[in-house]
Amino acid sequence: MKAGLLTIAALSALAVAQPHRPGHRHLHGKREVVTETVMATATAPHAVVYVDGNGNPMYTSYDNGRKYSHPTPNSHARPWAEENTSAAPEETTEAAPAPEPTSETSNYVAPAPEPTSETSSYVAPAPEPTSETSSYVAPAPEPTSETSSDVAPSPTTEAPAPSSTTSETSAAPAPTTTSTNSGSSGLSITYSPYNSDNSCKDQDQINMDMAQLSGYSMVRTYGTDCNQTATILNAARANGMKLFAGIYDISNVNSEIDNIVDATNGDWSDIHTIAVGNEGVNNGQYSVDDVVSALGAARSKLSAVGYSGPIVTVDTFVAMIANPQLCQASDYAAANCHAFFDGTITAQDAGKFVVAQAQRVSEACGGMNTMITESGWPSQGESNGVAVPSEENQKAAISSLKDAFSDNLILFTAYNDMWKQNNAGTYGAEQYWGMYGNAPSD
C-alpha cells in the first residue's frame, strides 16, 4: 500500500496522502482522541478539506473549537480526520511507497545484518535466526505454548526492562530471534481511565478494569490528567505489569513530568517507557521541531530526577517514515499503525500489514528498533473499503497481529471508549475498538 503524509498551510494546495491510516488514529488525550486515517487532509486555520486518492475533495470540516479522536484516548486514525485547529507545518513530505511483501509470512526485518535463511525476523545485530520462518520478538524468555488465537493474550513474562541509559541510541526495546510467534508473551495493551460522561475513574474502578488485563506485560496510557499515572501505575503493579506512561500536552512538558515524578515517588522500576506526545505531527498539532525540542527538555528533566529508561515520541507510521527526526530523537522508534484505516486490508491480513509498516519505519529510521504502540480493529462501525468492523473481524485481526508479533506490540485497546466522539474520518467506529467490550467498571 502506498503511504504518504502531507501537511499544507493553504486550502488551495490540496495534496494526497497515501493510505495508511493507521493514520487515523486516535488522539489520546482526555477528550481529544483521534484515529489514523487513510485519507489525506489539507488544512487551514479554520477548515479541513478531505480528499480521495485522486485529489478530489470529499468533504470539508470546520473548526468548532473541539478536537476529535478515534482510537486513543487512543490514537487510531491518524491522519484520521481530526479537525485541526492550528496551522500545518510549512514543509511537505511524502513517504516512499511501501515495498510489497515477499511472502504471506513476511516478517519484520531490520536492514542489517543480512539474513542467513530464507525468511528471517527483525533482529538487533544477530544472533542468527534458527528457522526459516521467524517472528518479530523482544528479548523475553521463550513462551511455553505454540500459538494462541484468543483475543486476550496471556503472556508469561514482563516487558523488556528499561534501558539503563538516557542516550538517544538506547537499544530498548531490543528484539532477538526465535521461531514463529509462540503464544502472546510480551504483548501489551492500551487503557484510558474515563467514564462515558468524560469524568475520571477512581482507583477502585481502575483496579476492577485492570484486573481483567493482568495477562499482559505492559499497559499504555496517554496523559497525566485524572491522576492516571498514579492510579494506573498502582493497578499495574498489583497485576505484575509495567507502565508505558504518556505525556499528551508537550507544550507544558515540565508540568507533565512533575505529575509523573509525583506519581512514581522516585521509584521508576515499573516504568517501561515515557512517551512525549502522541501523533502530534501527523495531526498538524505540532511541528517536528516542536516535538524534538520537547523530547530534549523531557530527557534533561527526567535525567535530573533519576529516570534512566527509554524516552520516545509516538506518531503514526506515516509521520515517522516522512520525518525520521522523530525516531532519531527517541530511544527507539514508536509508531501507531492500524490496518483498518488503509481500506485495502482485510482483518485476516492485519498482522502482515502492520509488520510490513514496522519494517518500513525501521528502515526509514536507519535500522532502529521499532515498537508498534497501537494496533487493533473496531467491532462496530462503517466499512472502510474491504476493512469491515465486526466482532468476528476484530477477533481475526487481533489473532493475525498476535501471529505476527511476539513482542514490541501494544494492542488497541482494552475497552470501548464511550466518552469519545465520531467524525467523518472515524467510520462511526471511534468508540468500539475495545477488545473486551465495555469496561467492567462501566
**Backbone phi and psi for residue 386, each to the nearest 5 degrees, phi listed first:** -85, 0
CA pseudo-torsion sign 168, 171, 258, 248: positive
DSSP letter for 340, please.
G
Nearest of 340, 350, 338, 328 to residue 403 by alpha carbon: 350
Amino acid at 73: P
Cα R_g (the chain), whole angstroms: 19
How do strand 176-179 and strand 188-190 relate by DSSP bridges? unpaired
237: which 3 cell numbers?
A: 503493579
Per DSSP, the residues of 17-38 read --S--S-B----BTTB--EE-S
Contact in structure between 338 and 76 (CB atoms under 8 Å): yes
**Residue 374 is among the residues annotated as catalytic for this protein:** yes
Amino acid at 89: P
Residue 109 in 3-state DSSP? coil
Question: How many whole angstroms separate alpha carbon 127 and alpha carbon 129?
Answer: 7
Produce one character per residue of 242-262: b if its CB has 16 or more CB atoms within 10 Å, e if not: bbbbbbbbbeebeebbebbbe
Residue 395 in 3-state DSSP? helix
Amino acid at 93: T
Angle at 208 between CA 347 and CA 154, to 5 degrees: 45
Question: How many whole angstroms separate alpha carbon 332 and alpha carbon 326?
Answer: 10
Place of cell 509495567: 242
Question: How many whole angstroms separate alpha carbon 205 and alpha carbon 213?
Answer: 13
E strand intervals along 309-408: 311-316, 333-336, 370-376
315: which 3 cell numbers?
A: 506518531
Q: Tell me which of 94, 256, 363, 374 is the catalytic residue.
A: 374
Place of cell 466518552: 419
DSSP letter for 194, please.
B
**Backbone phi and psi for residue 336, each to the nearest 5 degrees, phi listed first:** -90, 140
Hey, which residues are catalytic here?
Answer: 374
